Structure 1
């Protein structure tokens, strides 16, 4: 059975859960079960969930039963599998509805997407990936099949590396501790690359790393208002945008957009005086 990965304690970026008396392991495991469902997957069984979480099947059975009773999972008896329930949708809708930075960023993302004929997106970290919160498309970038809610790699994408470069070192170290040992060295090399690209180019780059035929650049920032570090990326199929175009033409526009979003939630009155 695979080793269960450590789940960082909220509000304690550097503290392992086993050293945090306030950390509720049962709750964390339940949320991990919900996090097992990936884009394009509608049904999972207890055995698949147990393998992904690294938990005993008996534990997973109790968790899925409880989540079903609460409406976060829906059991399909004909198949003996679960799908996400409507309570998850309500929770996600409430979160997105209260995320004012999407409203602030939306016209800026669309303007940059139109100017660069690219896909421009706002995102933030979700466990060991980056989730898209808002997305805009230029008139020539329809070939990139992404939408709000899509998750991409934290390691291989410009967006993921930009988040690693922008976050607090303690939070970055907590993420590294979630990686299983065989992948830890690779992620540490990714962090070094992210910091070097941010220093040398003023952004992070993915030229064929995430997908062989996609080029992208990304820049992280801190929106304020109690929100986590976020990232804006700009990318498109490589036959539309070259690395040179992204670095020379798109990067100054991307930097200007991020400068307008930096601290924008404090200015919007999200925090009290």
Structure 2
């Protein structure tokens, strides 16, 4: 039985560790933070943008962007004076995606559901304090919400993130919530008090929902797999265009089909 979510923590331990982690490569971490600074829809960033988003000094950013460009992770555009992500970023992620065999198993199930309900169905897992899509299927390219592989979405404001929180171990969950409190205190104050009710609803229904809280044009429903797979909690999410539809009507139609999809996926994965 999954442990019940505790009441929202009143404080977070922000004190430094007694001893620094001598194995932690700060320069490497800073370089990765630069690559993660790009947001969906952004083609290029300059050194000033990197510095503002990472908190690093401009000289440090300049050294890192030069190094990452030499290695192929960034591509410099002289006309703009900015940087694009390089092809090396794709090559590093390919091995991860290719090794996630759940994607191949889940894809036809996801596509069938997407076509039946005219929506987008995605598979995701946690990345730091966000969720990231690792597979997605859409009924049509014309729907307003078109998630794609590699795109991230917030943990607390989405059905996928909430489903992850409901299935994750207490240790993982508390660690993520503490990080969110430090990184995004506004989101923490708004959503964390709702978590006990979200958890209670999940225990009764087997899924989590989002009433257009993240995007005002999409209702979200999400179901986590019954247990971790290779140490990771996967979640199947369904984003349905609002388009004047009543939430209750969509919930009664979509949520049971999503729960059934995950149960079938668990059977194919040998979890049942």
TM-score (normalised: structure 2): 0.81
Q: 1:228 to 1:216 in 2, by over 3 A?
A: same
Deviations along 1:61-80, whole A, 9 cap, x unmatched? 22212211211111222322
- The yes-or-no answer on 1:138 pairing with 2:139 is yes
- The aligned counterpart of 1:37 is 38
- The yes-or-no answer on 1:228 pairing with 2:229 is no
Q: 1:112 to 1:234 in 2, by over 3 A?
A: same
Q: 1:48 to 1:220 in 2, by over 3 A?
A: same
- 1:18-29 matched pairs, under 5 angstroms: 19-29=20-30
C-alpha contact (below 8 Å) 2:131/2:161 kept by paired residues: yes
- The yes-or-no answer on 1:253 pairing with 2:257 is yes
- The aligned counterpart of 2:12 is none
- The aligned counterpart of 2:128 is 127
- The yes-or-no answer on 1:115 pairing with 2:116 is yes
Residue 20 of structure 1 deviates from its aligned partner by: 3.6
Q: 1:16 to 1:241 in 2, by over 3 A?
A: farther
Query: Which is worse superposed, 141-150 or 252-261?
Result: 141-150
Task: Give unmatched runs, 5+ long, in structure 2.
Answer: 1-14
- The yes-or-no answer on 1:186 pairing with 2:190 is yes
- 1:152-167 matched pairs, under 5 angstroms: 152-167=153-168
- The aligned counterpart of 1:75 is 76
Give the number of aligned pairs: 253
Q: Distance in 2 between matches of 1:63 and 1:222?
A: 41
Q: Distance in 1 between matches of 2:129 and 2:227?
A: 21
Residue 115 of structure 1 deviates from its aligned partner by: 2.6
C-alpha contact (below 8 Å) 2:167/2:227 kept by paired residues: no
Q: Distance in 2 between matches of 1:195 and 1:46?
A: 42
- The aligned counterpart of 1:11 is none
Q: Distance in 2 between matches of 1:33 and 1:105?
A: 32
Q: Distance in 1 between matches of 2:206 and 2:102?
A: 23
- The aligned counterpart of 2:3 is none
C-alpha contact (below 8 Å) 2:133/2:150 kept by paired residues: yes
Secondary structure (helix, strand or coil) at the match of 1:130 reads strand
- The aligned counterpart of 1:213 is 217
Deviations along 1:177-203, whole A, 9 cap, x unmatched? 323363333353354353233124321
TM-score (normalised: structure 1): 0.81
Query: Which is worse superposed, 30-39 or 244-253?
Result: 244-253
Deviations along 1:206-256, whole A, 9 cap, x unmatched? 112122222121111266552521111123112375322343222222112
Task: Give unmatched runs, 5+ long, in structure 1.
Answer: 1-14, 268-273
CA RMSD of aligned residues (A): 2.7
Q: 1:230 to 1:23 in 2, by over 3 A?
A: same
Q: Distance in 2 between matches of 1:216 and 1:141?
A: 18
